[in-house]
Amino acid sequence: MCEGASAEITDKIFEYWSQNDNLEVEVNLSEGLPDDPAPFNAGTVARSRVYNRLHKASVPFSERSAGFVWFFSFLVQFATMKRKTKNVIILLDEPGLTLHGKAQADLLRYVENELLPHHQVVYSTHSPFMVPPNRLTDCRVVEDVIKRRDQTRQISIGTKIKEDVLTTDKDTLFPLQGALGYSVAQSLFVGENTLLVEGPSDILYLQALSNEIEKRGGTPLDPKWVLCPAGSIDNLYPFVSLFSGNMLNVAVLSDQGRGDKRKIERIRQSEILAAENVHTIADLLNKDEADIEDLFPPRLYCRLVNEAYGLGGDLLVTPQKLEVCGAQTVRQVKQMEAYFRTLPDEIEFYNHYRPAYWLHSNHQFLSSEDSSITELLDRANAIFEVYNKILARGTRTDS
C-alpha cells in the first residue's frame, strides 16, 4: 500500500514539478514515538521522505527547500479538496512566493490544468511569472490611485481595480511588462526546430537557394527549420544560452572570420548544444574563413552584386578587381567592401543585405544552367544535407 501511494504521489507531483526529475516521494507507516510532538507520538503515523535517485539518498521533507515543501503541500491540499468539493471559489494571496520563476510557471500550469476546469481561482501576485501571457483578459490591475491637488499635495482616491491592464502607472504595470517581455523573448524561437544564423541576409540566401534546389527536384532545407537571425556571431552564445533546456531543437550556422574560431568553439565546448549542431560556413567549405556569400563562385557573386547595384562600365565588379582591392582577405564580403570604398561617392556603400534581397526578389537569376550556378547549388545542397540530418536525429538543446 505504501509503495502504491508513493508511486501515485511521485507521479502527480513530478508531472508539474519540473525542477528536478530525479526525486521520488517515499511514504512509510510506523508507530509514533513518545518524544515526537502530538499527535504524532502515538498510534500509526505516515511519514514521508524525498529520495534522490541521482545521489541515492533520502531526506525528510523538512530538509528540502522551502519552495519544494510549499509546492508539495499545495498540490496535496488541492488534490484533497478536488475530491471532496465541487465548484468552489479559491482565493490565494501571493501564491508561490518561495518558488523561483520556473517553478512559478509550474504552479501556474497546475492551476490552469487541475483547478480551473473545476473551480474559479482568484489570486494576487507581483511576479511576472505568475501572469499568464495567453490569458491577459483574465487579469485585473489593483492600484492605489493617487491624485495631485497641487504641485506639493497628494490625495489618495483609494484602491481601484482596473480591467484595462495596459493603462496604469509604470510600477503597477511592471509584472505585466515582465510577463509580456518574457513571452516575446520566448517567441523569438517561433518553431520547435530553430536554425540560428547571423543575420537576415543569411535567411534570404538560404531561402532562395533552397527554393531553386526544390524546383530542380532536389532536396531543399527541411521546412521544419525556422530560420532565426541572432544579429552577429557575438550574439549566438547568449541566444543559445538563453533558450537552452526548453525542449527546442536548436542548431547554428555561422560565418567565420579571423578571430571567430574561439567564439564558435566556446559554443561547442559549453555543451549547451550538441557539438554536431554547430557548424560554420568555413567548416563546411573546408576553409579557414568564409561567409555565406562564399558559397558563390567569385564570378557569379560579382555578377549578383553588379545586378543588385546596377553597376556597369568601368565600375563593373570583377574577381580580378576584388583580388587587388581585398588582397588582405579571402572573404568575398570583405573584398567587396574594400572595392566599394574605391568607387565614386554617388555609389551607395556596400551593404550585405542588398544583394541577398535582390536575389530573393529575382529568383530567375538562379534558373540558368551556368556551371557556376550548378557549383553554387551543389555547395548549398551539401549544407542542407547536414542540417536535415540534424533534424532527423532530433538532438535537442537539453541533450
**E strands, the chain, in order:** 23-31, 44-52, 57-60, 89-93, 120-124, 141-148, 154-162, 193-197, 226-229, 249-254, 278-280
Q: What is the DSSP letter of 290?
A: B
Q: Are strands 141-148 and 89-93 parallel, antiparallel or unpaired?
A: unpaired
Q: Sketch the domain layout of the chain as residue ranges.
A: 2-64, 131-187, 193-393
pLDDT value at 281 more than 90: yes
pLDDT value at 187 more than 60: no
Query: Which tops the pLDDT comparison, 127 or 314?
Result: 314
Structure-block grid coordinates of residue 201: 541576409
pLDDT band at 397 (very low <50, low <70, confident <90, very high): very low
Residue whose C-alpha is closest to residue 295's, from 282, 277, 309: 282
Q: Is the pTM of this model over 0.85?
A: no
pLDDT value at 204 more than 90: yes
pLDDT band at 244 (very low <50, low <70, confident <90, very high): low
